[in-house]
Amino acid sequence: MQKGEEDVSEEWRELVDRITREAGRRGGAAVEDLDMASLQPPQDSGELVRVIHYADETGTDQTVIVETGFAFRHAVSLNGEDGAEWVATVVVAILDGHAFEIAQVGKDGTWLHVVNHVDTPGGEWQESTHPAPAFHLKDMPVDHEHRRRIEPWPRPAGDETLPDG
């Protein structure tokens, strides 16, 4: 279901406004489509970050998927009073380089799982695991891991993050 501009939730609008300002403060840009904002980093610095909005038919259950890197895909709830603020905090943590992709690899070199990890400024962290698409690999033991930090964007002047409003 495509949404018209008038159907966009207040929470999503608030989130897009906040992350657009944050991208601009860091020398990047935001390109917005109906249910997606692509944060484009300054030249030769940081990684493209896509923020995608999903909502149920009533619009009451809202989820944002933040994608970047090779396999980084992290779901964050936009529901609740602090929804837009919390999602913006997670996005800023990713922009600041506090996010990792961890590929869990079997002895034969097969990627078994990808773990996405984000550390937020308040000391909280979130992790999500995405299993291998091939069902027959689900019980295969992990031999080793490859950890890759999401390349950070430049910090804004004064080293502030998430200004009010």
Q: What is the pLDDT along the chain (165 residues), one digit of tens a residue?
A: 344 445 568 889 999 999 999 999 999 999 998 899 999 999 878 899 999 999 988 878 899 999 997 788 888 889 877 888 989 999 999 999 999 999 888 888 888 888 899 998 888 888 888 876 666 677 788 899 989 999 999 988 666 555 444
- Cβ contacts of 11 within 8 Å, gap of 6 or more: 62, 78, 79, 83, 84
Residue 157: inside a domain, yes or no? no
Which stretches of 51-160 are DSSP H helices?
A: 83-95
Residue 156: inside a domain, yes or no? no
What's the total number of domains in the chain? 1
Residue 18: inside a domain, yes or no? yes
pTM here? 0.80
Helix, strand, or coil here: 48? coil
Type of residue at 12: W
- Tell me, what's the pLDDT at 123? 85
Range of the domain at 54: 5-150
Residue 78: inside a domain, yes or no? yes
Residue 17: inside a domain, yes or no? yes
- Tell me, what's the pLDDT at 100? 92
